[in-house]
Amino acid sequence: MGMDPYLSPYRIGKCEEAMTASSNEYSLPFSRNELMAVELANRLRNDDVTVMGTASAIPQVACRLAQLTHAPDLYSIAGGTCSVNPHLGPVVSSCCDYDLLRADTSLSLNDVVLLEGRADVLTVFFAGGLQIDAYGNCNLVSVGDYAHPALRGPGTVGLPFLSRVGRVLIYTQSHNPRTFVEKVDFLSGPGFLRGPADWKAADLPGGGPQLVITPLCTMGFDPDSLRMRLETVHPGVEVEQVRAATGFELIIPDSVPVTPEPTSEQLSIIRTIDTNGLLKGK
């Protein structure tokens, strides 16, 4: 079943697109997953209260890394068990794992869902999708016609919360034209909707998507058009590869820097947390 590109949008580990993306994959002293975790951690602030959902090993590590480096006062909530500041490691694959309850405290799921309603407490949500479009809208429901789907996804879980959270950080293991589309077939997690006019009229409480991180690159959003814009390419990845792997017209600035490599301190902390090597990949 590993051949199905849609098998799991969050699957940790082998990602065929990423494997072929870089000829020096094996010569880098870190995995793609570790790079993604570090890049997410770099975007977190000391006063953040973050929430993550299904299959969230990468954001779990990002939050713990941030707490152990530049953001000691950050709170992170593992949606599912709803434990607050889980004491990783080891890192676990499931957001509902019993071991996540080794934590500072825990809420009930009802409490977390309640707080997700009011937009001024929880500041960061980690999102993903079977499809992610040019305006950062996400789809975890279905590909093709909803009534007769070509692919039925698992369902949206908490993605509608994207409209109410301060900053949405999107991460995905798949960077290909099937995942990155001009317009999602089913909108189950609101990004900047259909662009500036729509976004302004909606007057949503949240700040919208801020970052998209993939095995190839990091992307942000152009402040005028609210369309996705390439920010950095990961070490060994060419801009052309990203353009070819993206199913819509990505905004590409004249100069695209390389994503900074994790520091040895960051890597050493990750490996202290991730004792089972979930992020090591191949």
Partner 1 sequence: MSKVLAISEAVDRFVPNGVGLVTVGGMHLHNNPMALIREVIRQDRRIKRLLTSPCGALNADLLIAAGMIDEIATSYVGFEHIGLAPCFRRAVEGGTVKVLECDEAYITHGLYAGAGGLPFIALPKGIEFTDIPKVNKENYSFTTDPFTGNQVPVGAPLKPDVALLHAYEADTHGNAVVAGGHFVDRYMALASKTVLLQVEKVVSTEEISKHPQGTTIPGFLVHAVVEVPGGCYPTASHGAYQFDDQEIVRYMNAAKDDNGAKEYVREFVRDTPEHEYLHNAAGRLSELRYGDGSLPVALSDRKM
Check whether the bond before 90 is cis (ω within 30° of 0). Answer: yes
> What are the helix and strand counts (H, E) for the chain?
7, 14
Q: Would you count residue 192 as binding partner 1 (CB under 8 A)?
A: no
The 3-class secondary structure across 4-38, one letter per residue, is: CCCCCCCCCCCCHHHHHHCCCHHHCCCCHHHHHHH
Work out which of 17, 28, 49, 149 binds partner 1, going by CB under 8 A: 149
Could you tell me the smallest distance in angstroms from the CB atom of residue 166 to partner 1? 13
164 vs 229, beta carbon nearer partner 1: 164
- Reduce the DSSP state of residue 111 to 3 states and report it: helix
Question: 215: phi > 0 → left, psi -120 to 50 → alpha, else beta; which?
Answer: alpha
DSSP structure string for 152-189: E----TTGGGGGTSSEEEEE-S--STTTEESS-SS--B
| Strand 167-171 to 180-181 pairing | unpaired
Q: Would you count residue 183 as binding partner 1 (CB under 8 A)?
A: no
What residues from 221 to 250 belong to the interface with partner 1 (CB under 8 A)? none
Kindly state the number of chain residues that form the binding site for partner 1, as judged by CB under 8 A: 64
Q: Would you count residue 121 as binding partner 1 (CB under 8 A)?
A: no
Work out which of 18, 38, 62, 95 binds partner 1, going by CB under 8 A: 95
Q: Would you count residue 210 as binding partner 1 (CB under 8 A)?
A: no
Could you tell me the smallest distance in angstroms from the CB atom of residue 257 to partner 1? 32
Could you tell me the smallest distance in angstroms from the CB atom of residue 58 to partner 1? 11
Residue 214 sits at the vertex; the CA angle it makes with 212 and 216, to the nearest 5 degrees, is 125
Two tokens, residue 108: 């009930």
Rounded Cα distance, 43 and 209, in Å: 12
184 vs 230, beta carbon nearer partner 1: 184
Work out which of 49, 68, 121, 202 binds partner 1, going by CB under 8 A: 202
Q: Would you count residue 186 as binding partner 1 (CB under 8 A)?
A: yes
Region from 16-24, 40-48, 94-102, 235-243 binding partner 1, contact rule CB under 8 A: 94-102
Q: Would you count residue 16 as binding partner 1 (CB under 8 A)?
A: no
Q: Would you count residue 173 as binding partner 1 (CB under 8 A)?
A: no
Work out which of 102, 200, 243, 282 binds partner 1, going by CB under 8 A: 102
22 vs 60, beta carbon nearer partner 1: 60
Alpha helices in the chain (DSSP H): 16-21, 32-42, 57-68, 109-115, 196-202, 239-245, 264-273
25 vs 99, beta carbon nearer partner 1: 99
- The neighbouring-strand residues paired with 119 are none
| Strand 209-213 to 75-78 pairing | unpaired
Rounded Cα distance, 167 and 159, in Å: 13
What residues from 30 to 59 belong to the interface with partner 1 (CB under 8 A)? 54-55, 57
Work out which of 23, 148, 223, 224 binds partner 1, going by CB under 8 A: 148
List interacting residues with partner 1 (CB under 8 A): 1, 4, 6-8, 10-12, 54-55, 57, 80-82, 93-99, 101-102, 106-110, 113, 116-119, 140-142, 146, 148-164, 186-190, 193, 202, 204-206
